[in-house]
Amino acid sequence: MLPTNLTEALNAQFNNEIQAAHAYTAMASYFSGKGYHGFANFYLIQSREEHVHAMKFYQYLVTMDEQPVLQALTEPRNQYANALDVVEASLAQEKSVTANIYKLVSLADELQEHATLSFLDWFIEEQMEEEKMFRDMIIRIKGIEEGGEYFLKMDDEFAARKLEE
């Protein structure tokens, strides 16, 4: 059993990860509507990855003899000005997730919950990778025209992306 405040915080992050998956599905929909199916694939895979992250929290809570509690989802943003707007929103979302993970680490450290600290180590590394990936995408997209040759090359590149297990 974990301290109540830590269980509540872990459950909140479990739900945050599900919400992030929901948001990435909406971003995929934006690209599908534009006919950029590679970008849509990229975001659908991001959505699936966030669901995998949520299930890591689910399993951890169960392992620690706590109950995962699902909360209501909020409607994600569905309208974007352009591809850059989507990717910038993605980076902002990942920064928010990182901040939440850091708060969890601080709480677990304060409570001397070493198992939780060990569990959260993976998420710290993952968040570093996620933020870098979106920063790199922003750099690439800022220098090109949406729908242009290089953008379509990126779309083809993203079409080949598969879920890493």
46 marked as part of a ligand binding site = no
Long-range contacts of the stretch 61-68 (C-beta < 8 A, 24+) = 61/7, 61/10, 61/11, 61/14, 64/1, 64/2, 64/7, 64/115, 64/116, 65/1, 66/1, 66/2, 66/7, 66/10, 66/11, 68/11, 68/14
50 marked as part of a ligand binding site = yes
113 marked as part of a ligand binding site = no
Contact 2, 116 (CB under 8 A): yes
Tell me, what amino acid is at 95?
A: K
17 marked as part of a ligand binding site = yes
Grouping H, G, I as helix, E, B as strand and the rest as coil, residue 38 is: helix
127 marked as part of a ligand binding site = yes
Please give the Cα distance from 152 to 145 (Å, whole number): 10
Binding residue ranges: 17, 50, 53, 94, 127
Binding residue ranges for Fe cation: 17, 50, 53, 94, 127
